[in-house]
Amino acid sequence: MNQLIISAATEGEEAANPLVPNVWEMGVVLVGFAVLLYIVIKFIVPMFEKTFAERAEAIEGGIAKAEAAQAEASAALEEYKQQLTDARAEANRIREEARAEGAQILADLKAKAAAESARITEQAHAAIESERQAAVVSLRSEVGTLATTLAGRIVGEALTDDQRAARVVDRFLADLETQSAGAAK
């Protein structure tokens, strides 16, 4: 019997294929795999999904923030360009106003200078005319005195009558004026 058992054991051992696993071993491996699969699906996969969702949200939020910042920067750039254009237009307007004001001031100064020049010229003409009149009056009186004295010496009598002396002086001056007017022509 012992031999039978030994020979059956040898025959059973020979009958088992080394490539096919034992059913009990396969059952234990399948149960272990199922437990491991349950733990992965129940605990690990949700953590990965949560991390994935947080990262996706962070990336999408970052993209949204970047887009918002880009839009804000574009708006600020447009506002800056508009302000720059407005500032240039304002500077041009101020420059033109300053030129116009400068031209107006220059015209006012020229007008004042012309008026002052005309006033000074008028005063000078008036002063010259008054001096000429004074000179004529002075000359008439001196010439009259000299003429009456000379006429009195020539005639031999004194011309004491003022009306007669004035007539003699006027005639003498009229003769001088006609001679000087004829000489000037």
State how far the Cα of 47 lies from the Cα of 100, in Å rounded to an integer.
77
Q: Which residue has the higher pLDDT, 77 or 152?
A: 77
159, 142 Cβ separation under 8 angstroms? no
DSSP state of 73: H
The label of the residue with tokens 């294929």 reads 17
> How far is Cα of residue 87 from the mean position of the Cα atoms in its chain?
5
State how far the Cα of 50 lies from the Cα of 44, in Å rounded to an integer.
10
State how far the Cα of 150 lies from the Cα of 49, in Å rounded to an integer.
145
pLDDT at 1 > cutoff 70: no
User: For the chain, what is the mean pLDDT?
Assistant: 84
pLDDT digits (tens, 9 = 90+) for 59-71: 998 898 899 999 9
pLDDT digits (tens, 9 = 90+) for 131-183: 888 887 787 777 777 777 776 677 655 556 667 667 777 787 788 778 877 77
State how far the Cα of 144 lies from the Cα of 138, in Å rounded to an integer.
10
State how far the Cα of 58 lies from the Cα of 48, in Å rounded to an integer.
15
**pTM for this prediction:** 0.38
